Structure formats: structure tokens, C-alpha cells
């Protein structure tokens, strides 16, 4: 049986979205910047897509800019806003310790350019608290960037409160909301969000399409320059099929949100209930309450994450891990380290991220396989399986 439990990494393209995109490859392929009639038709369709997206995030169409990925959107926003708003008195950026690598690396670029970068620590539940931001923010801060939902442990931050604090101190607020769709309702106006990043392939849309939502009143230096698309903010031929796909995928995600959340929460909770009853010595990483309904990140004591992953993969199950062995730089997950996970637990974690197409049968199969895997690996582990609590 093939079971895909790595939806936080990427999701399957919804067949309905694929159908919507197809004509844009074979028939409606004209460049949306061209002056001829078909080109202009493509352009109007693009504008419609922006209006649809803007409505779903509570903003205006002019604020929607398409990129190649959320990584690009994060780079564009963090580096572009910092660079355009730097003054003698303002040269500080605040991000959280648990941001996605693209945000961390963008901040590193700024560090090399002489900006001061401060990192907010999460609490042991994986949440970035208001007090933590208050402690670190001042009038020198240009931008605060805190993700809406963490990709590894699925924990949810109180963006509205954090944004309010940023504004109180004269700073702008950005949030990477890639993992928030459709778990949270996004309203940039009500939440006080100046900049937002989204990624289509995380909500059953196509890969290669990111969305940067920008507060157009704020100065930003473009990252990618060239032909002047997106009013000069992001040059490059519009990826029309990707744009149409992304807009439709976002629409479907929020339209079907209620039924999806109910179903996926049921599955996730059932999964966790069976796991903790049928396998000993394990625990959940991060808050189970302040967490999106599809995420489960579990520590399996005395056995190694990558070994579990490969063993599961062999049985047809796809998951993710944060162990040192599985990382290209051979370091364990900085998110798990940041939440203060006991060092003896750092290499024993598996992230299960459910999605639109998972079924109860798949969960049952996964439990059966996990029991076999854990038993096998624990049988030759040098560490006793009894977790010291």
C-alpha cells in the first residue's frame, strides 16, 4: 500500500486544478504582457486571479505579486523591505528562531550587509510569545518576521498580537503563511499583516508558484529586475498556468475548509490515540492544542529517525524526519533544538503531515507498519527503550 504522509513537504495537485490549468499550456499560452488581443485576454485572467486571491486573504488585488516560490517571496520581502527602509537610525530585523531556512538565509544576507538581526526564541511548546517580541523590539526595528504556522511541528503563532506590537514600535510585519492554508483564516487587514508569503504546492496547487502579498504603501526594493512585470516589483514572464492553478487551488482550499478540517483532525487524533496506546515510550513534540489539524511530530525513544523513515518508506509510507543523520549538513533539526527538546530525543523524531487524500485505512496500515518498525529497531538498539521522564 502506498501512503503519503508528507503533505507539509508538498501536496498532490488536485485533479480539478490540473483541469483548470491545462488549456493554458496548449491553447491559452500567450504571454500576458503582450499587447495583442490574446495576450490581453491572458492579462485579464491574471487580474481575475489576483482579485480572487486578494479576497481570500482579506486584502486588495494590487497587493498580490506572483513569484516562483514562497522561498522567492520570502527573499523578496525580507531583503526588499529591509534594504528600501534602512536609515541611520533604523537597521534592525527581527525573525524567529524557528523560521524556514529561506527566511533564516535571507536574514543572513542582511547580516552580511550590516543589518542587526535578532532571533526570537519559542517556548517549549513551539510558540513565539508576545513577551518575547516586546523584549527585543525597539525603534531601530524595520521589520518583524514570524511564521503563522511552523512547518516541522505545526504550531500556531498569534500573529495578530505580534503584528500589533510591531506596529506599536514603528516596525512592519511579515508572516510566512505557507503552512497555514487552509487551517487558519487569513485576513491581512484584520490581523495587521503588511507582508504575507504563500506557496501553491502546499495546498494542492502546482509547484513553481509562490505568492507575495505586499502592503503597497510600504517601500520595497525589487529582488528580480528585468522587463518590469508586476509594476516593476517582480520581472519575468507571468507563469499563467501556475497562476490560474494557484488561484483556483486557494479557492477550493477555503471553500472546502470546514469539511476538510473536521475529517483530517479526526484522522490525526485517531492516529495519535492509537500510537500512544499501542507503542510505548514516545511523545509529541510541540503543543498538541495550538497546532494545525494535520500535523503530528512524534519522538520514538531509543531509535533513530532516519532508520524509521527508511524502514517505513520500504513499506510504502512517506514521512519526514529531523534527525542529524538525514540532514545534508548532518545537524539535527534547529526547530526541535530551539523548543528545548532533550538532547537524547533529538534524533528520534518523525513528522507525519496528513492531507486531503489520506484515509482511515491508510492510518491503520501505517500503525501496523510502525509497530513492526519500532519493534525491529528497538530489538537491536544499544539504548534501553524505557524513556526517563
Partner 1 sequence: MDNFLKPKNVGKIANPDGYAQIGNMVCGDQLDFFLKVEKGKVKDVKFLSFGCASNIATASVLTEKVKGMTIEEAKKYPWKKVVEDLGGLPTQKIHCSIMAVEGLQKAIKNYEEHDVKPKVKTKPKTKLKVKVKAKPVVKKKTVNKKKTAK
Distance of CA 259 to the CA centre of its chain: 22
When the beta carbons of 294 and 309 are compared against partner 1, the nearer one is: 309
Nearest to 3 by CA among 365, 348, 275: 365
CA–CA separation, 360 and 375 (whole Å): 23
328 binds partner 1 (CB under 8 A): yes
Please state the closest distance from residue 238 (CB atom) to partner 1, in A.
39
304 binds partner 1 (CB under 8 A): yes
- CA triplet 273, 258, 266: central angle to 5 degrees? 10
Nearest to 265 by CA among 289, 299, 298, 300: 289
When the beta carbons of 349 and 358 are compared against partner 1, the nearer one is: 349
Q: How many amino acids of this chain bind partner 1 (CB under 8 A)?
A: 26
When the beta carbons of 140 and 371 are compared against partner 1, the nearer one is: 371
Give me the catalytic one of 44, 47, 258, 325: 325
Contacts 24+ apart (CB under 8 A), 260-265: 260/182, 260/356, 261/182, 261/183, 261/293, 264/293, 264/294, 264/354, 264/355, 264/356, 264/358, 265/293
Please state the closest distance from residue 369 (CB atom) to partner 1, in A.
13
Q: Which helix (H) or strand (E) holds 96?
A: strand 92-96
Instruction: Figure out which of the listed residues 74, 157, 240, 332 binds partner 1, where binding follows CB under 8 A.
Output: 332
382 binds partner 1 (CB under 8 A): yes
Please state the closest distance from residue 387 (CB atom) to partner 1, in A.
12
347 binds partner 1 (CB under 8 A): yes
Selected range binding partner 1 among 53-61, 109-117, 205-213, 379-387, rule: CB under 8 A: 379-387
Instruction: Figure out which of the listed residues 307, 312, 370, 374 binds partner 1, where binding follows CB under 8 A.
Output: 307
Q: What's the residue count for the chain?
A: 389
- Binding track, positions 35-74, relative to partner 1; x by CB under 8 A: ----------------------------------------
CA–CA separation, 83 and 204 (whole Å): 34
Please state the closest distance from residue 381 (CB atom) to partner 1, in A.
5
CA–CA separation, 332 and 95 (whole Å): 20
Selected range binding partner 1 among 62-70, 101-109, 181-189, 374-382, rule: CB under 8 A: 374-382
When the beta carbons of 273 and 344 are compared against partner 1, the nearer one is: 344
Q: Interface residues for partner 1 in 192-251 (CB under 8 A)?
A: none
CB 238 within 8 A of CB 49: no
CA–CA separation, 310 and 321 (whole Å): 10
Residue 175 pairs with which residues in a beta bridge?
196
323 binds partner 1 (CB under 8 A): yes
Going 363 to 369 to 371 to 377, the CA torsion angle's sign is: negative
Phi/psi region, residue 266 (left: phi>0; alpha: psi -120 to 50; beta: rest), is alpha
CA–CA separation, 106 and 173 (whole Å): 16
Selected range binding partner 1 among 51-59, 247-255, 290-298, 325-333, rule: CB under 8 A: 325-333
Please state the closest distance from residue 313 (CB atom) to partner 1, in A.
10
CB 325 within 8 A of CB 349: no
369 tagged catalytic: no
Instruction: Figure out which of the listed residues 324, 334, 364, 368 binds partner 1, where binding follows CB under 8 A.
Output: 324
- Give residues in contact with partner 1 (CB under 8 A): 302-307, 310-311, 314, 323-326, 328, 330, 332, 343-344, 346-348, 379-383
Catalytic residues: 325
Amino acid at each position: 500500500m502506498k501512503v503519503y504522509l508528507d503533505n507539509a513537504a508538498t501536496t498532490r495537485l488536485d485533479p480539478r486544478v490540473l483541469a483548470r490549468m491545462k488549456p493554458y499550456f496548449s491553447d491559452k499560452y500567450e504571454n500576458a504582457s503582450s499587447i495583442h488581443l490574446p495576450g490581453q485576454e491572458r492579462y485579464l485572467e491574471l487580474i481575475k486571479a489576483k482579485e480572487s486571491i486578494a479576497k481570500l486573504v482579506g486584502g486588495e488585488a494590487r497587493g498580490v505579486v506572483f513569484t516562483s516560490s514562497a522561498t522567492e517571496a520570502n527573499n523578496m520581502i525580507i531583503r526588499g523591505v529591509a534594504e528600501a527602509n534602512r536609515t541611520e537610525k533604523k537597521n534592525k530585523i527581527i525573525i524567529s528562531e524557528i523560521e524556514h531556512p529561506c527566511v533564516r538565509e535571507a536574514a543572513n544576507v542582511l547580516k552580511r550587509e550590516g543589518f542587526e538581526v535578532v532571533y526570537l526564541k519559542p517556548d517549549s511548546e513551539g510558540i513565539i510569545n508576545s513577551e518575547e517580541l516586546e523584549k527585543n523590539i525597539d525603534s531601530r526595528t524595520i521589520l518583524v518576521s514570524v511564521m503563522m504556522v511552523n512547518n516541522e511541528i505545526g504550531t500556531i503563532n498569534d500573529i495578530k498580537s505580534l503584528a500589533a506590537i510591531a506596529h506599536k514600535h514603528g516596525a512592519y510585519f511579515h508572516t510566512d503563511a505557507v503552512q497555514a492554508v487552509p487551517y487558519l483564516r487569513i485576513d491581512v487587514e484584520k490581523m495587521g499583516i503588511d507582508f504575507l508569503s504563500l506557496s501553491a504546492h502546499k495546498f494542492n496547487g502546482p509547484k513553481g508558484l509562490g505568492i507575495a502579498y505586499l502592503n503597497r504603501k510600504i517601500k520595497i526594493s525589487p529582488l528580480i529586475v528585468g522587463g518590469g512585470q508586476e509594476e516593476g516589483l517582480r520581472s519575468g514572464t507571468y507563469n499563467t498556468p501556475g497562476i490560474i492553478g494557484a488561484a483556483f487551488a486557494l479557492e477550493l482550499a477555503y471553500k472546502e475548509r470546514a469539511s476538510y478540517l473536521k475529517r483530517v483532525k479526526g484522522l490525526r487524533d485517531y492516529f495519535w490515540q492509537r500510537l500512544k496506546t499501542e507503542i510505548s515510550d514516545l511523545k509529541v513534540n510541540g503543543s498538541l492544542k495550538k497546532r494545525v489539524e494535520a500535523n503530528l511530530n512524534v519522538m520514538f525513544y531509543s531509535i533513530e529517525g532516519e532508520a524509521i523513515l527508511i524502514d517505513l518508506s520500504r513499506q510504502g509510507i512517506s514521512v519526514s524526519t529531523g534527525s542529524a543523520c538525514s540532514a545534508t549538513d548532518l545537524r539535527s533539526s534547529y526547530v526541535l533544538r530551539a523548543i528545548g527538546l532533550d538532547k537524547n530525543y533529538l534524533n528520534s523524531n518523525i513528522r507525519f503531515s496528513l492531507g486531503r487524500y489520506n484515509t482511515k485505512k491508510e492510518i491503520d496500515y501505517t500503525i501496523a507498519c510502525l509497530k513492526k518498525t519500532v519493534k525491529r529497531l528497538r530489538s537491536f538498539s544499544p539504548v534501553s527503550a524505557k524513556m526517563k521522564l
